[in-house]
């Protein structure tokens, strides 16, 4: 194959014509914006995942809270039942302890009731 | 294009600066679209390939060697993306290329002549083997050196010289009647 010495130089008119022939028809800015939007999408997906995790967390926390309330109310009901039994023993001290807002546990009430006995 | 500037934008992108990638994308998107179009007849396919290539480049940015120019590295990804898409599209019927390219403000006859030349030139390019198309366009239209094109196409530098030589000769033959319009 023979090389023309001009092979090492650019053919400017041909290059310009090629650029014009291959020039994209659409708006360059819109194209770049589309690329950047796709670049952003994986990040958005990551945030969506985190958000779904947090939603799951809220649901779990709510379930745990409901379970805790249920357990506490059960325990409360047991206390009332025992307290009612104790109140039936007509000990004023025990009745007073039971009606207070920060009423003590059943063990204290039993102790007080037993002391009265 | 300043290659040290490119390297700095790459460094900033890797550090999480999203605007830096935006600047890189703006700088190279027109060239990426033109190079993709050398291999893909359909302009929308070419744009999709250019887009895939820019995103692939971003995903693999940590593998880019900043001591070397960014353009050839990116153009290699663009050509790979376009070749890949071209292979996958072979079953699909090729759509005609004949549309647009009218510079606003030009006299209508001149604009029509340039538009016709663009069509003829794209058709003439399609007559060339893929590698010759790429070599002549990357050299004459995009300003890459023979060595850089050899790097992009993964062929010896002598092959690039030969491809440019043959491609120019065939393009000049086919466009002989358009010599005046080209110059």
Alpha-carbon distance of B150 to B171, in angstroms, equals 21
Over range A7-12, report the average pLDDT. 88
B28 neighbors B74 (Cβ within 8 angstroms):
yes
Task: Tell me how close the Cα of B82 comes to any Cα of chain A, in angstroms.
Answer: 14
Q: Any idea which fold B102-183 has?
A: Arc Repressor Mutant, subunit A (1.10.10)
Residue A11 with chain B: CB contacts under 8 Å: 140, 168
**Complex ipTM tops 0.90:** no
> What contacts B17, CB < 8 A, 6 or more positions away?
none
B59 neighbors B103 (Cβ within 8 angstroms):
no
Nearest one of B79, B117, B123 to B97, comparing CA atoms: B123
Alpha-carbon distance of B112 to B96, in angstroms, equals 18
Mark yes or no for CB contact A17/B117 under 8 Å: yes
What pLDDT, in 10s, does the model give residues A24-68? 877 888 998 988 888 776 555 545 555 655 666 777 788 888 888
| 3-state secondary structure at position B143 | coil
Over range B117-131, report the average pLDDT. 91
Alpha-carbon distance of B82 to B153, in angstroms, equals 13
Q: Which residue has 């196409």 as its token pair?
A: B153
- The Cβ of residue B111 has, within 10 Å, a number of other Cβ atoms equal to 15
> What contacts A94, CB < 8 A, 6 or more positions away?
A83, A86, A87, A109, A112, A113, A116
Partner A, chain B 102-131, Cβ-Cβ below 8 Å: 114, 117-119, 121-122, 125
Mark yes or no for CB contact A31/B29 under 8 Å: yes
pLDDT of residue B103: 40
> What contacts B56, CB < 8 A, 6 or more positions away?
B77, B81
Q: Is this structure's pTM higher than 0.80?
A: no
Q: Which of A35-44, A87-96, B84-93, B108-117 has the lowest mean pLDDT?
A: A87-96
Domain ranges in chain B are 1-93, 102-183
Instruction: Tell me the CATH number for domain B1-93.
Output: 1.10.1740.10
Facing residue for B43 by CB, picked from A3, A7, A25 = A25
Q: What percent of chain A has pLDDT over 90?
A: 10
Q: Between B43-59 and B70-88, two packed helices, what is the crossing angle to 10 degrees?
A: 130
* pLDDT category of residue B133 using cuts at 50, 70 and 90: very high
Alpha-carbon distance of B46 to A24, in angstroms, equals 9
Mutation target to probe the B interface, by most B beta carbons within 10 A, among A7, A13, A24, A30 is A24
Tell whether A33 lies on the interface with B, counting CB pairs under 8 A. no
């Amino acid at each position: 194959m023979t090389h023309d010495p001009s092979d090492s130089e650019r053919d400017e008119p041909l290059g310009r014509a090629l650029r014009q022939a291959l020039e994209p028809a659409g708006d360059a800015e819109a194209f770049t914006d589309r690329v950047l939007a796709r670049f952003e999408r994986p990040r958005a997906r990551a945030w969506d995942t985190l958000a779904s995790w947090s939603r799951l967390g809220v649901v779990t926390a709510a379930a745990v809270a409901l379970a805790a309330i249920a357990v506490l109310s059960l325990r409360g009901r047991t206390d009332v039942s025992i307290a009612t039994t104790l109140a039936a023993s007509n000990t004023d001290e025990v009745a007073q302890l039971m009606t207070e807002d920060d009423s003590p546990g059943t063990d204290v009430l039993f102790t007080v009731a037993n002391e009265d006995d | 294009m300043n290659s040290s500037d490119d390297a700095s934008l790459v460094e900033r992108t890797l550090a999480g600066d999203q605007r830096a990638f935006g600047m890189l994308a703006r700088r190279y998107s027109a060239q990426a679209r033109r190079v993709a179009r050398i291999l893909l007849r359909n302009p929308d396919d070419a744009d999709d390939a250019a887009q895939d290539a820019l995103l692939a480049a971003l995903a693999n940015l940590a593998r880019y060697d900043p001591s070397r120019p960014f353009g050839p590295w990116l153009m290699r990804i663009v050509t790979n993306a376009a070749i890949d898409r071209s292979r996958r599209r072979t079953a699909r019927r090729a759509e005609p290329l004949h549309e647009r390219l009218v510079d606003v403000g030009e006299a209508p006859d001149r604009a029509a002549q340039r538009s016709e030349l663009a069509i003829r030139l794209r058709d003439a390019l399609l007559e060339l083997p893929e590698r010759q198309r790429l070599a002549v366009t990357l050299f004459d239209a995009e300003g890459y050196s023979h060595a850089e094109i050899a790097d992009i196409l993964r062929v010896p530098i002598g092959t690039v010289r030969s491809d440019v030589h043959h491609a120019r000769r065939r393009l000049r033959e086919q466009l002989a009647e358009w010599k005046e319009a080209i110059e």
